[in-house]
Structure 1
Amino acid sequence: MSIGILYESVEWSNHQLALHLNNLGIKTELINLETDQINIDSILKNKLIVNRIFPSSIYRGYKKSYKLAGFLLRIIDDSKVPMINPYKAYRYDMSKLSSAYVLKNNGLPVPEIYGFFEKNINLEDYDIKYPCILKPDCGGRSKYTFIIKNKTELEEAIEKIPEVPFIIQKYINPDKEFTTRIEIIGNKIITVLKRYIGKGNLSGYHSGSKYEDYRDCPREILNASKEALKHLSIEMGSLDIIENKENEFYIIDVNGTSNFSEDNIEMLGFDPIELMAKYIKRKYDECL
């Protein structure tokens, strides 16, 4: 009996997670959808599956994983094999439009979406207010994300983007000069960090943002974050949130695959991958 971890790219966090689980006495199999031969019957023999497929895989050259993941996760789901971040969570993780509407329909604050399109769009058909954000419906790590000041900039940006679905969304100015990254494992918040605005007026690890603890984060933001992941069936993941000068907040992104690097441990003062492993072990024990 074992745990199968589905992934597509070589990340320190995936191997560290498998190491922690093996140290906890659970045989753990790393299944690389990009390079491994996919044996579906073998995968279905696992007692528990952990989905760690990134939405940004297609923009990082992992086209095979991008094509296979949805079909495989659906088969696992239909086969009733327990899975952390199951097929439903994956579908939301792969569509910012879908996840935004789920949150909106459940009374959670998200920026308005002005348009949804693939390559060809008549901007006259949409009531777009500037500035706005142009970004892939399925993506991550700020790839092909643009802050747009006017119609001319939007037209120029549309000429540069690949032929995949994109959304045009209301831009929320980070009046406090940071966004908030909240990491959650099993409905328990493990980190709340300020991510200061970096390159391109964006915030994130790949934009060179600086991080610090957000010790006085408003309780309503913390509660909304846990509620959001529940609605999206994400057991282990994170959210990005912006507050404006009126102290209103908006959920601007949800991530179904938390990723940590080795230097995060020193910054945080603890090993978040170890906490993930302990949560996975509890879920695994429930399957026995």
Structure 2
Amino acid sequence: MNLYGWIIYNGYLPGDKFLDFAQWIQHAAAKQGIETTIYRNSDILNLLSSESLTLLSAQKFTWPDFVVFADKDIYLATQLELMGLQVFNSAKAIAASDDKIASYQLLAANKLPVPKTVIAPKAFHQLNYNPIDDYSEAIRILGYPMIVKEAFGSFGEQVYLIHTKDELAEIIQQLQGRPFMLQEFIAESAGKDVRLQVVGNKVVAAMARYSENDFRANVTTGGKMQFYQPTSAEEQIAVAASKTLGTDFAGVDILHGANDKPIICEINSNAHIRNIFDCTGVDVGDYIITYIQTALK
């Protein structure tokens, strides 16, 4: 079967990371004899009316057998699915992993290990007073230091380490109108985590990340990386987390708490795979393309 696919990335984000991922997947597809075209999300505009659900200038596109959706433009992914395309990852899976609050709720509902978390009450706008008193019980349960994490963010950004009530009041005031949560700080894992790359039902690569000067281990924020051999328990947790959110492939970040207990930090449906290749020599793109071919049979 001769397959043809689209690879879609966000054309508005700065830097080359997102195009690099798209090109990596395109190269992996070419190695397996599959032709693909890379598009920015801004190249493909949705058109809908009571008469049709289509794309603007649809006739200029060669219709694909599949789409690798390396973006978080949920509306575009949904439109493509409604038009009958198989999208990897699905719009629903991308939405679940992009919203960290929704991720933790799904993981907790499935009895998977997550940090103790308190979801901030929703505020629709910036308040004219500081609601710190609403968090008294959360402070008592979580203690200091604690993590404040916005529901939406990437590369370790929108994550804050809070040491005092004054710091917490300041960040709560700053985040009013945005969804965020308070979390226990896993001190044993300060500045370090492990990334497990899941494809289908298997962990195909893993690396440890660590930082000498930041509580976050992300390579983007200055962290370093080294090969990591996950335990079978860690692999089972990573695969279960990916399945819970419905991802076909994902980067699952794991912290280690007391007694080296694995705790899920987050799940990234659009995890970039260059760093893990540089660290481990494993080309995750090959596994993704093989998985897609199997799924389409």
Q: What interval of TM-score do these two structures reach, taking the shorter chain for normalisation?
A: 0.7 to 0.9
Matched with 2:164 is: 150
Matched with 1:29 is: 37
Matched with 1:63 is: none
Matched position secondary structure for 2:271: coil
Equivalent residue for 1:237, pick from 242, 245, 250: 250
Matched position secondary structure for 1:202: coil
Runs of 4+ in 1 over 6 A off after TM superposition: none
- 1:99 pairs with 2:103: yes
Matched with 1:38 is: 45
- 1:171 pairs with 2:175: no
State how 1:64-79 maps to structure 2 within 5 Å.
Answer: 69-79=73-83
- Per-residue deviation, residues 198-229 of structure 1 (Å, max 9, x unmatched): 443111111222212222x3322210110111
Q: CA deviation at 1:177?
A: 5.7
Return the TM-score normalized by structure 2.
0.81
Contact 1:185–1:235 (Cα < 8 Å) also in 2: yes
Contact 2:206–2:276 (Cα < 8 Å) also in 1: no
Going from structure 1 to structure 2, the CA distance change for 1:115 and 1:265 (only over 3 Å counts) comes to: closer
Going from structure 1 to structure 2, the CA distance change for 1:124 and 1:176 (only over 3 Å counts) comes to: closer
1:53 and 1:241 map into 2 onto residues whose CA distance is: 23
- Per-residue deviation, residues 90-125 of structure 1 (Å, max 9, x unmatched): 110221011101110011011122132455462322
- 1:123 pairs with 2:132: yes
1:223 and 1:37 map into 2 onto residues whose CA distance is: 37
Matched with 1:5 is: 7
Going from structure 1 to structure 2, the CA distance change for 1:110 and 1:162 (only over 3 Å counts) comes to: same
Q: CA deviation at 1:264?
A: 4.6
Equivalent residue for 1:265, pick from 267, 271, 277: 277
- Larger RCO: 1 or 2 (CA < 8 Å, sep 6+): 1
2:194 partner amino acid = T
* Number of aligned residue pairs: 268
Q: CA deviation at 1:161?
A: 4.7
Matched position secondary structure for 1:97: helix
Matched with 1:49 is: 67
- 1:14 pairs with 2:26: no
Matched position secondary structure for 1:201: coil
1:139 and 1:243 map into 2 onto residues whose CA distance is: 22
Matched with 2:87 is: 83
Residue segments in structure 1 that go unaligned for 5+ positions in a row? 55-68
Return the TM-score normalized by structure 1.
0.83
Contact 2:101–2:180 (Cα < 8 Å) also in 1: no
Residue segments in structure 2 that go unaligned for 5+ positions in a row? 47-53
Going from structure 1 to structure 2, the CA distance change for 1:245 and 1:145 (only over 3 Å counts) comes to: same
2:219 partner amino acid = Y
Going from structure 1 to structure 2, the CA distance change for 1:146 and 1:177 (only over 3 Å counts) comes to: closer
Contact 1:44–1:76 (Cα < 8 Å) also in 2: no
- Per-residue deviation, residues 178-197 of structure 1 (Å, max 9, x unmatched): 21111111221111221113
1:264 and 1:246 map into 2 onto residues whose CA distance is: 27
2:214 partner amino acid = G
Q: Could you say what the CA RMSD is over the residues aligned between the two structures, in angstroms?
A: 2.4
Matched with 1:221 is: 234
Matched position secondary structure for 1:280: helix
Task: Provide the identity percentage.
Answer: 22
Q: CA deviation at 1:13?
A: 2.0
1:46 partner amino acid = P
Equivalent residue for 1:132, pick from 116, 139, 146: 146
Contact 2:206–2:227 (Cα < 8 Å) also in 1: yes
Matched position secondary structure for 2:259: coil
Matched with 1:61 is: none
2:86 partner amino acid = P
**Which of structures 1 and 2 has the bigger CA Rg?**
2
